[in-house]
Structure 1
């Protein structure tokens, strides 16, 4: 009887000890399979770093998380930072679809959302504050508006409803909370109207601080039209395409006008980007993006755009496997580029296109980043098994002692080399 009582008490004691050790004390918590679920249920907001000890990016990220943890844990709505060795605790890695390292997920009231923001400590803090902010902030003065915009930072678009009732955008604010800041201004001066360039109310103003862009919506203030305006302004007029921004496009159903340049930082590229912005403002049914071959050659080669290609080059991409070239607009010449961009868009809308499929040897690397490292592991395993079977068959056919060790070593080294490459490809860029 006493033994049974002790057996019943031990789990309770363990649970109490574990809960006491999981406190928002400003340090990064180390989680494993025994305390992970407890931590997720104990904290309303927790950022979890799924890492691997051998991962270089993980090692660089770790001190940034250590630096951010005290500030985040001291917020009115604390955000706790934790980490899990996903290479060791594979059950957790499988459960949360971890296919590369490091992977960051924010658990909000137990619901995981992949974190795609910056990874430097100060920027990470500002970015994460969004997750504990109200869906719609109510602003009652000019200074409150300025403070809201400053505190929001440059990483999300900002929507401010001037003269709007909070209830008009609350549902949309909840729907798009992970992608933008939302507020309504109840009281403001004429100086604010001049500053944000609107001349009547109600008005919904969208801001992209990092791109210095602004749009104004005067109605009709019905859900359908409001949502169209919000969706169209979640991105800047022309989006730089990279590993991070490409992820943000996956939920957008619009076709993407892709412009390839040699180097995004060159003056000639900046000139064409400016012209693309003018075209984008008149064609909101499309997403406009640009990418430099120097900045991301592996991606551009999948569209047959490389250093030998006449540039700039424009295509229409469906965001998946197909893209369209416009007949007669394969490239943009140096002179009168605005007219050529207009001609390209007119040709596309008139159906003067050639459908193509993404191709090129480097596309395999791009696909690997999309299908996940566990799928790649499976492919490597199958290849390894086939190679071993072939080696065994050769051993059976040849006289004993002739070349068997050398063949076995070659097969083993091939598997090892493939596995090590896949481990490296599984690291995510900071």
Structure 2
């Protein structure tokens, strides 16, 4: 093979895996499991093309995907995906989707208990996702740090000598 042919093949393969149009990743029965297992956080819009509200959400959701890609370029951290439930009804059934649009969050491939019910705006989506990737660990160094805790919330307490320990990583 010539050098030109090899470069052409490499370019073609790269083109196939890049979302050149930007926006949300179109998820299908062939790629959804790979995407869910490859990213820490996956936010999915389950939609139907005939649904007026799904049509209204589509450009907003694509804008969110572009903003997330720009703000969080880390590989495999966050994916913004969408599923056409008319053409991939098995996915809708698997994830108990029966109304459109439905927005669900997946963390490490596991669907969270509640679907997204907040505002349907780019900034609201962005804030929601940003909160999902924040550390949920509150470090307490002194007894006075306990005063700042919200007493209405529940806490799990762990004591670790080192933040690099396996126990700490499992806890976090």
Where on the TM-score scale, by shorter chain, does this alignment land: which range?
0.5 to 0.7
Give the Cα–Cα distance (whole angstroms) in 2 for the partners of residues 85 and 27 of structure 1: 15
Equivalence for 1:102: 101
Give the Cα–Cα distance (whole angstroms) in 2 for the partners of residues 79 and 115 of structure 1: 16
Give the Cα–Cα distance (whole angstroms) in 2 for the partners of residues 49 and 82 of structure 1: 6
Q: From the superposition, tell whether residues 37 and 115 of structure 1 become closer, same or farther in structure 2 (CA, over 3 Å).
A: same
Give the Cα–Cα distance (whole angstroms) in 2 for the partners of residues 133 and 76 of structure 1: 16
Q: From the superposition, tell whether residues 26 and 108 of structure 1 become closer, same or farther in structure 2 (CA, over 3 Å).
A: farther
Equivalence for 1:28: 24
Superposition CA RMSD, Å: 2.9
Q: Is the 8 A contact 2:47 2:85 kept in 1?
A: yes
Query: Residue 66 of structure 1: CA displacement?
Result: 1.4
Q: 2:40 aligns with which of 23, 39, 44?
A: 44
Give the Cα–Cα distance (whole angstroms) in 1 for the partners of residues 37 and 14 of structure 2: 13
List alignment gaps of at least 5 residues for structure 2. 1-12, 155-172
Q: Is the 8 A contact 1:50 1:102 kept in 2?
A: yes
Give the Cα–Cα distance (whole angstroms) in 1 for the partners of residues 31 and 121 of structure 2: 27
* Deviation sequence 1:317-349 (CA, Å, 0-9, x none): xxxxxxxxxxxxxxxxxxxxxxxxxxxxxxxxx
Q: Number of paired residues?
A: 136
Q: Is the 8 A contact 2:85 2:91 kept in 1?
A: yes
Q: How does 1:127-276 map to 2 (within 5 A)?
A: 127-136=128-137, 165=140, 202-206=146-150, 217=151, 229-230=152-153
Q: Is the 8 A contact 1:19 1:38 kept in 2?
A: no
Structure holding more strand per residue = 1
Query: TM (normalized to structure 2)?
Result: 0.67
Q: From the superposition, tell whether residues 71 and 88 of structure 1 become closer, same or farther in structure 2 (CA, over 3 Å).
A: same
Q: From the superposition, tell whether residues 42 and 202 of structure 1 become closer, same or farther in structure 2 (CA, over 3 Å).
A: closer
Q: From the superposition, tell whether residues 93 and 58 of structure 1 become closer, same or farther in structure 2 (CA, over 3 Å).
A: same
Q: Is the 8 A contact 2:48 2:100 kept in 1?
A: yes
Structure holding more helix per residue = 1
Give the Cα–Cα distance (whole angstroms) in 2 for the partners of residues 37 and 201 of structure 1: 42
Q: Is the 8 A contact 1:50 1:84 kept in 2?
A: yes
Q: Is the 8 A contact 2:23 2:61 kept in 1?
A: no
Q: Is the 8 A contact 1:22 1:39 kept in 2?
A: no
Equivalence for 1:90: 89
Q: From the superposition, tell whether residues 201 and 89 of structure 1 become closer, same or farther in structure 2 (CA, over 3 Å).
A: closer
List alignment gaps of at least 5 residues for structure 1. 1-16, 139-164, 167-185, 187-199, 207-216, 218-228, 232-430
Q: Is the 8 A contact 2:24 2:80 kept in 1?
A: yes
* Deviation sequence 1:119-140 (CA, Å, 0-9, x none): 20011101111111111255xx
Give the Cα–Cα distance (whole angstroms) in 2 for the partners of residues 44 and 19 of structure 1: 24
Q: From the superposition, tell whether residues 230 and 24 of structure 1 become closer, same or farther in structure 2 (CA, over 3 Å).
A: farther
Query: Residue 42 of structure 1: CA displacement?
Result: 2.2
Query: Residue 83 of structure 1: CA displacement?
Result: 0.8
Equivalence for 1:126: 127
Q: Is the 8 A contact 1:24 1:80 kept in 2?
A: no
